[in-house]
Structure 1
Amino acid sequence: MYMQVGLSYAVAVHLTHIPGTTRYLFMERPSGKHPDKKTFIAGYYDIATNKYTNVFNTDSLFCNGAVQMANGNIAVIGGHIAKSGYADGLKSLRIYDKDANTLVTVANMKFPRWYPSANLLPDGRILMMGGTQAPGSGTKNNPICEIWDPENNPLKPPVQWTLPGAFVSKAGDIYYSNNYMLPSGDMFVYCDSAGLILNPYNGTVITDVPPHTNLIKTIRLEYPFSACSVMLPLTPANGYTPEFVFFGGQFGYGWTNTLAVDLALRVKVSYDAPSRKYSFSNWTMEKMNNRRVMGDAVLLPNGCVILLNGAQQGVAGDSATGGTSKASLPQFWAVLYDPAAPDGTRFTRLARSQIARMYHSTAALTPDGTIVVAGCDRCDYFNSSVPFSKSPWGLPEYRVEIFYPPFYFWDMRPALLPNGVPPIVTYGQRFSVLYDTLHTLVDIDGVVLMAPSSTTHSTNFNQRAVGLRILGDDYTGTLTVEAPPNLNIAPPGYYMLFLLSGQAYSSAQWIQVKSA
């Protein structure tokens, strides 16, 4: 079920969950039709109050990369050219302070970056990868990556290393690559049809990732052919073995009138620690029950995935004539993907939104297990085959929705007691989780940590699910569980802790995971 809950004053081109809160940082390009008649391009929306608050900043942060830091603040890197009174932000290194509610540019990168990826490393630093050195494809890419330490030494120049030439030649502009920290401490990098596993601290390549084009040659995954991806949950039961799924995208020959891809691509990565060697399953291909480009994939605590937003036709980007959409036929339907279901039965159509969410739309998990849905700034002058609720502002869309997955309405959901989770745990620590036995009698068979999302352009830089080992249950309201074994499985930071009973899940409480 979709429910419209409020209005923002900036389009959620970038949507970053502020750790420890019910607030979401919105960032956008400068535009002149904000509902409050002001010109702020950043702010936060609080889903607890459904109120929006502007946040002052000085430079152009549209098309940035943003990720949560280990201390709960947010690193915002790169952006856009000077525009509408905002300074050039292409080289900017910014910190959003979650307590002070300030967004401050503190330093500069060596290279300008438009559409870069930003990822939290297990040592607390931020890896900044790719993007072009000016807005637009073909404006010189960035083969040199940079590592910044915003928490401990924000003024120190970032460390640099270079991506291999063979990868760069295939990845092209390296727009918003899909980067995931692996339990081994290496990083899985996949951009369009080029993939690597590498050491994220110095760039040493461990191995290539077999491309999905070995299975199907015509599907493209990166902007403007934007697919969305998830890493499925890392759990003790699966040996913390990573598996990746890419949903939708566009065909390499596709353009504005081409129907989007209706396939999902899936691959598992196995690691032998003694030999330090990786092996890969064959890519598998699954038929989706609808077409989707520019979608968003939101991982739920139970391991299912909700697909939202996007279009059935076209590509991401602005038209050369007036900045209108390059896509049509909005994909209004949310879809559930159950990775554990038998092949051929994994996709289930759910509810339909009345609001078009195409280019520059976003979605993120909330602490109560619902999904906040926002954004779209090219949501006019397109074709639709069904009736919908047109944006009152023309191209930009400021309405905010909450999507309720079906599990939210199940009667027999587990529930945490107030203050049922310690505020801080260290790796490998045993700790107690207190659950309600008075109102909900269910067998609890899982405890999972969900990292807060940071999403833009169909890419989520921080989405992660980590299952915890349950050591004991006294069946009177106390679980004994074990924190993640190390910082490669769960990088340091804030997580939402959910209880599971089958596919039913509780609302969450925040917990910070850190080294001793």
Structure 2
Amino acid sequence: MAETKTTLPFLLFFSSIPLLLLLLAAPTTTSAHELPTTPIAAATPISPEEFTDPKNFETLNEEKVLGPHELFGNPFGNPDDFAKKKIADDVGTPLDKEIDALLTTDAQHKVEATGTNSLTESEVKAITADGGLKVDAGGAGGGATAFQATGTTAAKGKKAFGTHLVNPTGFKGKWELFCKNTGVSSMHAILLPKVNKVLMYDATIWRISAINLPNGKCRVLDEKTGEKDCFAHSVLLDVNTAQITPLELHTDTWCSSGGLTLEGNLVSTGGFQGGANTVRYLDTCEGCDWREYPTALAAPRWYATQAQMPDGRMIVVGGRDAKSYEFIPAEGTHNPAPTNFDFLTQTTDKDENNLYPFVHLSSDGNVFIFANNRAVLLNPTTNAIVKELPNLLGGHRNYPAAGQSVLLPLKLHGGNHGPVASEVLICGGSAHIDSYTKASEGVFYAALQDCGRMRITDPNPKWKRELMPSPRLMGDMSLLPSGEVLLINGVKRGSSGWGFAREPNFIPALYNPRVKRGERFIELAPSDIPRVYHSTATVLQDGKVLIAGSNTNNGYIYDAMYPTELRAEKFSPPYLDPALEKFKPVIDAAVTPATLVYNQKIVVQFKMTDQQQVVQQANLKVTMYVPAFTTHSISMNMRLLDLGLDSVKPNGPGVYSIDVWTPPDTKVAPTGYYLLFVVNQGVPSEGIWVQIK
């Protein structure tokens, strides 16, 4: 059994007061808007002599102080209390003046008079039709418009939304309770390769969970008083057996970030107080536990976003009061200074609304960064902003407004000929700049119902907007192996924060990016468990999605309006309809290579569950999926590649071989572990783990 590394003490910390003060001081910065005159200093090695015994590692966790947007809201009361207050300026989803012309005067009047969106089918089609939502590139989001529609599409308008499978059955998916008690409420989650377990963790600040550390272990919080914390704050969940393995965390991971390395190991960054400057490592091996370095980052990163770069580095962007970015240093070293990023200063408003920025690596090697309602492309090598992109109209999209974003599947070509386009989808959020502040006063604005979609590799990109079936914020968006996008969890009103949301959105939606606007969404089977603040969604190897978490309370509170949630469910999307089982491929892992190199043709062999099924190349694709680190409505590093196919050949009864091209380079597919799927008529196989390097 593999052992945890022991080259440095588990969880390292400065011992001298001068060094501690240096850690807490504001770091110096270099500018990201122009090429630095001198290179960024190399990471500085840290000698073991600078650290002390682990019993002193809780120094920065002693002060029980919450941030300005983590005030404790009343967790009790009536969840329908929002309906008793009439909100005069509850605009829902603002629409552009050009869209106004597509809607009848009667429709405008209906919305303005009733305060609810009861648009007809034809009116919904008018809003979602191609060419219907022309957004001015220079416009500002969230401002007043000639017409403003609120959030919920009426049932009679749902016919405007289409269906996706080649052989649709009407199956809307299925929910199953998988684990009754995960031990910790899943604030953060990621599927780990090799061990095929989901890592879940929340925060250490509450000093409580529903599972103890093994073998009587405890964290010593205060040697003078003897205060201890004997609870686990991170666990591994076996996705087949539901077995829980507790892990030992010391630094506070509250609202942190993460991603996987080339070798499939987790790197976690930031958090609260003593965890804010921390880099943590968890190897994906049986018996491994956390290694933590609390001084590795130059700036505190609370509500920051982490993403992998083409050269293997990981960038960490933003965070509360951190208008900068930096790259994770080598293990056991620390960064001397971050790089200043004025874009984050410019996009901060009275309620912030730019925390957990959306960060996606584009297929051209630039980094797409979206905060609030604005976006830029950053060159991660030169630190230069290479393009300022159009604003996304309608409102505010990042925490605490908490919309969701994905990089849509990257379509590759046989022989890797031609450029690879990158397209971003952003959905939901809030039209109001003060949705958080108002929620703290008991006013819960309707969430946004619109999405913006833009091809960021175009010479002159423009947003195209469309409507979701229902409003959503604090939800999760997951790329499915079929190439569709699942929108799940979240609420229809309010904001992120303790007790600051109402009206859970129980109904998932499925988005097909390959069909025309107006036919891209369908609604799926509802859950009956509210998944509000601090929920997660994790795509699994079998194509199901693990849904866990939800804690809008300051601690573990089980009799609240929305109780701390420890149950985990599995959701089966429509492609897992038992009636479609005959279309399901089964990959032969013994023949398909597990290690890939770039820009090469390989053979993927599979057999059909029903050997009588005739496979046609037009109905086949091979996809590669990067497991996402999910937290706070953001899925970091999530990526799906639709590989280029050359040919499909029969290779025996019900057996086929596909000649498929691996990704062309690390800009399209950063190194690391992926799940590889064969998809037939919209129905995916179970994935197999492959590593590309």
Mark yes or no: TM-score above 0.5.
yes
Which range moves more in the overlay, 181-190 or 32-41? 32-41
| Residues 1:488 and 2:680 aligned together | no
Q: Cα gap change, 1:202/1:74 in structure 2, threshold over 3 Å: closer, same or farther?
A: farther
| Residues 1:115 and 2:303 aligned together | yes
For 2:609 and 2:630, locate their aligned partners in 1 and report how far apart those are by CA, in whole Å: 38
Residue in structure 2 matching 1:24, options 163, 187, 198: 198
* Cα shift readout 1:274-302 (whole Å, capped 9, x = no counterpart): xxxx431x211111111111000011122
How far off its partner does 1:392 sit? 9.5
How far off its partner does 1:250 sit? 1.0
For 2:692 and 2:634, locate their aligned partners in 1 and report how far apart those are by CA, in whole Å: 24
* Cα shift readout 1:64-104 (whole Å, capped 9, x = no counterpart): 111111111111111112xxxxxx21111111111142111
Residue in structure 1 matching 2:488, options 308, 317, 324: 308
Look up the match of 1:195: 375
Alpha-carbon contact 2:494-2:501 (below 8 Å) kept: yes
Alpha-carbon contact 1:358-1:376 (below 8 Å) kept: yes
Residue in structure 2 matching 1:39, options 222, 226, 231: 231
1:167-186 aligned within 5 A: 167-171=344-348, 174-186=354-366
Look up the match of 1:91: 277
Alpha-carbon contact 2:299-2:337 (below 8 Å) kept: no
For 2:675 and 2:177, locate their aligned partners in 1 and report how far apart those are by CA, in whole Å: 24
- Which structure has the highest strand share of the two? 1
For 2:629 and 2:341, locate their aligned partners in 1 and report how far apart those are by CA, in whole Å: 27
Residue in structure 1 matching 2:460, options 268, 271, 279: 279
Look up the match of 1:236: 412
Look up the match of 2:248: 56
Look up the match of 2:510: 336
Residue in structure 2 matching 1:162, options 318, 323, 339: 339
Counterpart AA for 1:227: G
Alpha-carbon contact 1:12-1:374 (below 8 Å) kept: yes
Q: Cα gap change, 1:114/1:161 in structure 2, threshold over 3 Å: closer, same or farther?
A: closer
Q: Cα gap change, 1:419/1:465 in structure 2, threshold over 3 Å: closer, same or farther?
A: same
Counterpart AA for 2:299: F
How far off its partner does 1:157 sit? 2.8
For 2:563 and 2:574, locate their aligned partners in 1 and report how far apart those are by CA, in whole Å: 31
Q: Which has the larger radius of gyration?
A: 2
Look up the match of 1:404: 572
Tell me, what secondary structure is at the counterpart of 1:317?
coil
TM-score calculated relative to the size of structure 1:
0.87
* Cα shift readout 1:176-197 (whole Å, capped 9, x = no counterpart): 1111111111111111112110
Tell me, what secondary structure is at the counterpart of 2:345?
helix
Q: Which has the higher contact order (CA 8 A, sep 6+)?
A: 2
How many pairs were matched up?
Answer: 472
Look up the match of 1:84: none
| Residues 1:265 and 2:438 aligned together | no
For 1:67 and 1:171, locate their aligned partners in 2 and report how far apart those are by CA, in whole Å: 25
Alpha-carbon contact 1:264-1:286 (below 8 Å) kept: yes
How far off its partner does 1:379 sit? 6.7
Residue in structure 2 matching 1:457, options 627, 632, 645: 632
How far off its partner does 1:200 sit? 1.8
How far off its partner does 1:239 sit? 4.1
| Residues 1:326 and 2:512 aligned together | no
Residue in structure 2 matching 1:104, options 268, 291, 314: 291
Residue in structure 2 matching 1:448, options 623, 638, 656: 623
For 1:443 and 1:415, locate their aligned partners in 2 and report how far apart those are by CA, in whole Å: 16
Counterpart AA for 1:399: R
- Which structure has the highest helix share of the two? 2
* Cα shift readout 1:414-468 (whole Å, capped 9, x = no counterpart): 2212434312111112222110147343335211101111110001111101121
How far off its partner does 1:160 sit? 5.0
For 1:34 and 1:186, locate their aligned partners in 2 and report how far apart those are by CA, in whole Å: 40
How far off its partner does 1:507 sit? 1.1
* Cα shift readout 1:138-192 (whole Å, capped 9, x = no counterpart): xxx212211124xxx3123337553442552224554111111111111111111
For 2:635 and 2:454, locate their aligned partners in 1 and report how far apart those are by CA, in whole Å: 18
RMSD of the TM alignment (CA)?
Answer: 2.2
How far off its partner does 1:473 sit? 2.3
For 2:559 and 2:246, locate their aligned partners in 1 and report how far apart those are by CA, in whole Å: 21
Tell me, what secondary structure is at the counterpart of 2:290?
strand
Moved over 6 A (4+): 390-394
Look up the match of 2:260: 68
For 2:196 and 2:344, locate their aligned partners in 1 and report how far apart those are by CA, in whole Å: 39
Q: Cα gap change, 1:239/1:379 in structure 2, threshold over 3 Å: closer, same or farther?
A: farther
TM-score calculated relative to the size of structure 2:
0.65
Look up the match of 1:499: 678
| Residues 1:78 and 2:258 aligned together | no
For 2:405 and 2:650, locate their aligned partners in 1 and report how far apart those are by CA, in whole Å: 38
For 1:379 and 1:504, locate their aligned partners in 2 and report how far apart those are by CA, in whole Å: 39
Q: Cα gap change, 1:425/1:249 in structure 2, threshold over 3 Å: closer, same or farther?
A: same
